[in-house]
Structure 1
């Protein structure tokens, strides 16, 4: 049975107009949107007649933004919903992994509970898609995967998601390859990898194993790459070659990729062109303590760049808010985006590439046929929302409110 509702008085960006001293300003207007079976079927200026007896919801003039995509998260690691606990200091990555391993069994018992708390927080900040990495390791096998799948299943009518089978303690570690394959047969949707040099100590063997698994299960890839400098750069180059050989264009992502910002500009330009040609995406958390990949250069060269909040309030870090808009605001401040279009265009890193207006002022979003996925805020335009990160008043997924109230 077809369901429909009119979403009235939605504040949308409608175009651009000249401002002072050669600048531009965003032109906005109120619209009524008809939503049928979770998609936008009609857009008209607010106040025009609706069908007699039509069901309505009132957005009360709130600005609508495209909903957010959380593209790098660890639902299984968070301490959310448990009592407060600060991190235990570690002198290096090896010790950090040992400390994490020591608590895995205890945490596995509350995986679904903790993941549900994280999902709720991410939703309240505007996310309607979550890509979560889930530890697959020799300590607890698939326990985390089971809990995360259960939590996501409860929310299946409120968001979409990817589950990355993530070999946190090494892909080449003992029986991990078989555990990873079992995970792919048990609900994981993507194949992960981790630091082929720093953790697996064999770049070629680690990358080969990851890509072989991806092709075996016809799955996309998302590898964590913290390996720095020329070692990390070489790893990306090898991955690009394997991606082409496997025909896996547009199906591979590299998370973190700090090394891309640690080499000469000429190398950054070269790798950006290759990433764009191969469709390999970069996932960044916009860190303040690490060298970032050259996001602006990558974006200008056509590389797909997405933001994520990573793990937070867990054994790795007590910090984090789950707010992708805050990540966009941090990026904009770091890259000195202070004009209207620079701020507004930065929103795409949180929305999967969607922005309301083109640089010429054409209305790109929303359009008839789009999913009715919205974040509602009190702001005059998306540029202001990026700069000031206002409270999310309501979040809608496929025409259903999943947070707040209209």
Structure 2
């Protein structure tokens, strides 16, 4: 870390040179990385990086994109933001990025931080539990014991995510009679302990069924606490009434100005009807547009042809996002079609070593890699585009190869990755060497 005061003029002279010359001038337009006035002083907490590898464009032949152009730069981070970027320079005391690639921090948009075996004794799943209903019955028995260590386990899981380059998660948290509001309260403690290095959104999630477990009162209490989204679960299969369940969820979100994020595992007709009814309710309440999400939404994987295309158009118009955990096997989600129609698509690691699944590495790059393999994306351009599902749609280069991240003013949430470009990082699930969250180092392995 560097904690010395430098004038901007001295910094430019020592590290950047004349901004119209050298590597930056040939790689990126100077207007992209314009320097601030020389008179301004860097604060004592400013961080200066050298040997930062950035993507600057695509290489092409007469047929296709064949590679990604990169160059080394210096970068200043101050007050949690990227302040300036310029030609590389060997300034004394700067943090040496050692030529590692700068990529956006990963964003895990669907996980359950409140219930995990991670950090404890290994345990695989049982053949006794085959349905969501079976899992609800299991949770009613095991959650009281899991609560005893839930805060420590959540912190361990956050640390795992950070080591994989993730600095933010949207966590669903159980709200049901077995744990009351304690899962939420315990997670608050973990979030508080990690608040300087990790960001969290919370979904109040009636895991055992809104009406099935009579959780309406608990959900209303949770809605008045420090949460961001009202959750839901399979309105027909679990609660037996699509409209009643969705109406309650929508009204609760409206009453307390929250977003909506509903687990929808139902893949048949009831799943499709749920999607259609939610679209209708969001269109009736435009304040929910851009704040409403369907997690999993396996019903889309069963649609084809005109029905699929029209449904994707409707989701895009209502600005309802899909958070797919990218299942593999017999069900292939229509992620390319969702993208084509402009639907916001995100992913998450969901269960990381818990009673739902023994799998999960905590890596969002693994999710991007899985998407690439499922849909046959193997070219330089295709692989580079897959990164966006891991970063909540932030990419260094646009489709034409124009540099769009990072830029001065961007929040300093980034990774240093042992890769030559985004495409390689996705294809090889490259090693994360360091993670910065709002300009603070959250994880580092630069040896």
Q: Structure 2: where are the runs of 5+ without partners?
A: 1-41
Would you say the 8 A contact 1:229–1:263 is kept in 2?
Answer: no
In structure 2, the CA distance between the partners of 1:17 and 1:92, relative to structure 1 (3 Å rule), is closer
Of the three residues 339, 361, 372, the one matched with 2:401 is 361
Matches of 1:131 and 1:101, distance apart in 2: 23
Normalising by structure 1, report the TM-score: 0.96
Q: Structure 1: where are the runs of 5+ without partners?
A: none
Matches of 2:76 and 2:131, distance apart in 1: 54
Tell me the residue number matched to 2:112: 74
Tell me how far 1:19 sits from its aligned partner.
4.0
Q: Does 1:372 align with 2:415?
A: no
Matches of 1:96 and 1:173, distance apart in 2: 14
Q: Does 1:163 align with 2:202?
A: yes
Structure 1 stretches of 4+ moved >6 Å? none
How many residue pairs were aligned? Answer: 402
Matches of 1:92 and 1:225, distance apart in 2: 14
Matches of 2:64 and 2:167, distance apart in 1: 37
Of the three residues 49, 59, 69, the one matched with 1:27 is 69
Q: Does 1:13 align with 2:59?
A: no
Of the three residues 89, 102, 106, the one matched with 2:145 is 106
Of the three residues 129, 137, 144, the one matched with 2:183 is 144
Would you say the 8 A contact 1:38–1:400 is kept in 2?
Answer: yes
Superposition CA RMSD, Å: 1.5
Tell me the residue number matched to 1:280: 320
Tell me how far 1:171 sits from its aligned partner.
1.1
Tell me the residue number matched to 1:92: 131
**3-state DSSP of counterpart to 1:109:** helix
Tell me how far 1:155 sits from its aligned partner.
0.9
Q: Does 1:334 align with 2:374?
A: yes
Q: Does 1:387 align with 2:427?
A: yes
**3-state DSSP of counterpart to 1:110:** helix
Tell me how far 1:311 sits from its aligned partner.
1.2
Tell me how far 1:285 sits from its aligned partner.
0.9
Tell me the residue number matched to 1:178: 217
**3-state DSSP of counterpart to 2:397:** coil
**3-state DSSP of counterpart to 2:313:** helix
Tell me the residue number matched to 1:197: 236
Would you say the 8 A contact 1:225–1:258 is kept in 2?
Answer: yes
Tell me the residue number matched to 2:386: 346
The structure having more radius of gyration, on CA atoms, is: 2
Tell me how far 1:183 sits from its aligned partner.
1.4
**3-state DSSP of counterpart to 2:249:** helix
Tell me the residue number matched to 2:283: 244
Q: Alpha-carbon deviations, 1:130-154, whole Å to 9, x = none?
A: 1000010011201111111110111
Q: Alpha-carbon deviations, 1:291-328, whole Å to 9, x = none?
A: 24310110111000001010121111111111110010
Tell me how far 1:290 sits from its aligned partner.
5.4
**3-state DSSP of counterpart to 2:83:** strand
Tell me how far 1:344 sits from its aligned partner.
0.2
